[in-house]
Amino acid sequence: MNATTRRFLRRVFAFCRAVVKTAVFAPMAARAASAPARIWAALSWATLICLAGSACQAAPEGPPVQPQEQPASEEQPASDSRSVHFTAAGDIGLGGGAKAVLDVIAGLKPDLNIVLGDLSYQAGAEQAFCDMVTKKLGQDFPYELITGNHESDGHDGDIGKFAQCLPNRLPGLQGTYGTQWYVDVPRDRPLVRFILISPGIDFPGGQPLDYSQGSNRWRWTESAIDGARAANIPWTVVGMHTPCFSMGKYGCQPGERLTNMLVSKNVDLVLTGHQHVYQRTRQLRLTERCPVLVPGEARNDCVADSDNDLAQGQGTVFVTVGVGGAGHHDVQADDPEAGLFAVWTGKNSDRTLGTLDVRLTHARLEARFVPAAGFTFTDAFAIER
């Protein structure tokens, strides 16, 4: 409170004291025997006169007082202590590696798991895969699916059958579960929107779904991201099977334009599988000096932050977690995109199996890689709002 305001308040209080003395105590001394009703009437008049007097005082001179910061909306109070805990991995299979990773997930006890595609790697084994998962995690655990290329076209399983025996367990899901969907978690006052899409892989008939710029699926994805921002949902996580950037053998299967759209909208985290490695990019951004991210290049101007403590809104982190159980691919340390990456591991470089483990609150997202038994590679990073 500044000196001008204090002087103004002192004048108001002095005025009120004078009014009360004149309107209440003086009449009470003169008419000590009067009825109590008259005293109450005098008090009421004094109160009204005092309020009117203070309201009519001129505003204090001087610079305007800066408005106080408005409290957070009812949907996202500033003191929100709730959290969401999820795991994510893809490229799983039916072998011992898959079971070891499921054991890790069971031990972490997350609220849900995001499956980044490529499930059984075997036609006709949908029920066996589902039984393996439910035996480890329970019948009702939210083991949430997005298709990979091995089951999208049915040649190594059918995503529709997987979705029947491992159905969605999260309320409020929008879209087509297993192929293209989003959901807010928790449903009441959500902390995160998960958006799962399927670009760059073939479906029955040998054709990929159309995620070209301006297509229905492009607009759906844009709308899901923009809708999360409009609803003041703190975090946005996009998942898909195929990565754009990789130190392995695959190119940018989701498409350059779709990838740049995600970065332009500052999606916080993009999760992928497909490449059987673990790799995490630095926080990537678009600026005047980096108007577009070009696959096959690694420009410093496109890197917002290179360390493990990041700030929200500065860019996007891409993490490939293709080590859910089904073996490994090599990484290429001399890959032309290597400069975009903060960490990596593959068959020829500290190979691992495991899961990404993410905990987020209203204010902070913390992620770490947790290896399965027998492996030692770890990684950790955080994004602060």
Say whether pLDDT at 350 is over 60.
Answer: yes
Whole-angstrom distance, CA of residue 380 vs CA of residue 361: 16
Say whether pLDDT at 51 is over 50.
Answer: no
Whole-angstrom distance, CA of residue 292 vs CA of residue 213: 15
Say whether pLDDT at 335 is over 80.
Answer: yes
**Got the DSSP string for 108-147?**
H--SEEEE-S---SSTT-HHHHHHHHHHHH-TTS-EEEB-
Residue 77's pLDDT is what? 59
Contacts of 124 (CB under 8 A, 6+ apart): 157
Task: Name the pLDDT band for 78 (thresholds 50, 70, 90).
Answer: low
Angle at 143 (CA atoms; ends 378, 218), nearest 5 degrees: 90
Provide the Cα torsion 157, 160, 165, 168; round to 10°: 130
Whole-angstrom distance, CA of residue 323 vs CA of residue 273: 8
- Amino acid in the structure at residue 370: V
Whole-angstrom distance, CA of residue 371 vs CA of residue 104: 8
Residue 45's pLDDT is what? 43
What is the per-residue pLDDT across 180-203, written as a single tens digit (0 to 9) for each? Answer: 999 999 999 999 999 999 999 999
Q: What percent of the chain has pLDDT over 90?
A: 78
What is the per-residue pLDDT across 145-186, written as a single tens digit (0 to 9) for each? Answer: 999 999 999 999 999 999 999 999 999 999 999 999 999 999
Whole-angstrom distance, CA of residue 311 vs CA of residue 252: 26
Helix (H, G, I), strand (E, B) or coil at 278: strand
Whole-angstrom distance, CA of residue 66 vs CA of residue 64: 6
Cβ atoms of 201 and 208 within 8 Å: the answer is yes
Q: What is the pTM assigned to this prediction?
A: 0.81
Number of Cβ atoms within 10 Å of the Cβ of 349: 16
- Residue 192 pairs with which residues in a beta bridge? 185, 235
Angle at 233 (CA atoms; ends 227, 237), nearest 5 degrees: 80
Cβ atoms of 196 and 183 within 8 Å: the answer is no
Q: For the residues 51-68, what does the mean pLDDT come to? A: 34
Provide the Cα torsion 114, 179, 331, 310; round to 10°: -50
Whole-angstrom distance, CA of residue 373 vs CA of residue 341: 26
Query: Would residue 83 be called left, alpha or beta, if left means φ above 0 and alpha means ψ between -120 and 50 degrees?
Result: beta
Say whether pLDDT at 47 is over 90.
Answer: no
Task: Return the closest-CA partner of residue 267 out of 199, 317, 217, 198.
Answer: 317
- Residue 354 pairs with which residues in a beta bridge? 371
Task: Name the pLDDT band for 76 (thresholds 50, 70, 90).
Answer: low
Whole-angstrom distance, CA of residue 148 vs CA of residue 361: 29
Task: Name the pLDDT band for 22 (thresholds 50, 70, 90).
Answer: very low
Of 30-39, 286-295, 340-349, 350-359, least confident by mean pLDDT is 30-39
Of 60-64, 101-105, 204-208, 221-225, least confident by mean pLDDT is 60-64
Whole-angstrom distance, CA of residue 276 vs CA of residue 320: 8
Whole-angstrom distance, CA of residue 160 vs CA of residue 166: 10
